[in-house]
Amino acid sequence: MITRRSLLATGGVLAATGALASAAPVSADAEPAAEVPTRNPLVEQRADPFVTPPTDGMYYLTGSVPEYDRVVIRGASTLDGLASARERTIWRRPASGKMGGYIWAPELHRIDGKWYVYFAAGDKDEPFRIRTYVLESANADPREGGWVLRGQMVTAWDTFTLDATTFAHRGKRYFLWAQSEPGIATNTNLYIAEMASPLALKTAPVRIATPTLSWEVLGFKVNEGPAVLIRNGRVFVTYSASATDARYCMGLLTADENANLLDARSWTKSPNPVFTTHAPTSQYGPGHNSFTTVGSTDVLVYHARDYRDITGDPLFDPNRHTRVQKLHWNADGTPSFGVPVGRGGPIARLSPLDAPSLVVRHYEYRLRVDGNVRDLGDSQFRFVPGFLGAGTVAVQSVNFPDRYVRVDGDVIRIDPFEDTDAYGRAASFVRVPGLADGRAVSLRAGADTYLAHDNGRVVLSRPGSDRDARRRATFRLE
């Protein structure tokens, strides 16, 4: 039997492999062919992570190293492979003079058959005199040598400038970055301009975001780290705000895909942050993200720490780790980020076979079935080893990982773990191929009882041979 001690030994989360291997088999077709990695973190001590879209069968990762002294790249044929891939240094700061200070937040982009790295660098004698510079390589593999420094990206003001990204849209290429503008009492704002080439701007900068909301000005007045995702008729820009400790978080800008992106009026800022610290999963200060894809799945790449309290300046705490998780979408076509999910195995959303547009979620700690669940974490679960030994599974809440699905009389709840036999019996299930579809799953709670959907509720049911009842007791995994 799994005890509280064994749970604590693994940080409150146990890998699903042991339980699923010993439970009744489920068709492999029920799982996606291409999977988002579930290891967390993916790469330790790589802040400001940027992962390219798959390019010629490869993913490439770059990011800030704790020493802030070089630009590194690693590559792999899968996202998960980046965790163990060999890392190569493609450029190192000079020993003196310009760019001899802090090296921050490199991004790697493939443009017109060449690779470009945009990065921020300070000077040796003034390490916080941060400006944006660009490296260029004609090699097919960006990990190879031969990178050439092409100089500084010149903007309208010679001021603190960092976190540049670039994207193409409707036949134009844009540059998007953070900068301190003279005359504005903020640390950094967000700006956009059209590019004349990968090395120069074509138009004057347009300010599209200024830190003014309460969650954007904690510690510092910051809008930085923009990342672009074009989906569902809109251009979405995520960005990071506030100090780089547990207060760091992500906001969202939105423009219509047909709008003039160089008109500040085209952009709307969401009033609340979209991705924040989540203490129950021990993830603090998530931010400075990028996006990539696995097949047709959008993937959020970001950094966060495993702890809240930091000794000294957060900037010099090395443990901002690279993490990835699936990005979901709301019914209205807007991105749904959920919570930084923390450690653990694969994450599932369960849809009842009789209501495939709905999902199982918890609300006030009770299980129910709803549509358009905007609180994504409420509908995410992990299958972990059950509390009754081999052949059983428990269903763990993702956003409250100390809670598991538990039968409490005629109510199905998520309740905190208790080291008792009664809890173990009430929170353990046998996962079997779906009663009405072998590619899906059913969860047996007793000899002939199963979790089932009943008019928006999750209940115990004895479906027997009844066709409709067996459909209600069958759940597809997203």
The residue annotated as part of the active site, out of 48, 80, 317, 354, is: 48
Beta bridge partners of 273: none
CB atoms within 10 A of CB 138: 11
- The number of C-alpha atoms within 13 Å of 240 and in the hemisphere containing its C-beta is 30
Cβ(358)–Cβ(394) below 8 Å: no
Beta bridge partners of 165: 176
Sole residue written with tokens 């960006």 = 142
Cβ(345)–Cβ(16) below 8 Å: yes
CB atoms within 10 A of CB 15: 16
Q: Is 437 in the active site? A: no
Cβ(262)–Cβ(192) below 8 Å: yes
Q: Give buried/exposed letters for 56-77 (b at 16+ CB in 10 A, else e).
A: eebbbbbbbbeebeebbbbbbe
- Strand segments, DSSP code E, in 242-327 are 249-256, 268-269, 284-294, 297-305, 321-326
For 223, the 3-state DSSP assignment is: strand
| Secondary-structure percent of the chain, ordered helix, strand, coil, rounded to 5 | 10, 45, 45
CA distance 275 to 18: 32
Structure tokens at 265: 């009026």
CA distance 450 to 231: 39
Tell me the CA distances in angstroms from 441 to 43, 58, 96, 335, one per residue in order: 32, 33, 62, 27
Cβ(412)–Cβ(422) below 8 Å: no
Structure tokens at 349: 């959303």
Determine the residue type at 173: R
In order, the DSSP letters of 77-98 are SSTGGGGTPPEEEEEE--SSST
Q: Is 48 in the active site? A: yes
The residue annotated as part of the active site, out of 107, 181, 224, 378, is: 224
**Residues acting as catalytic residues:** 48, 224
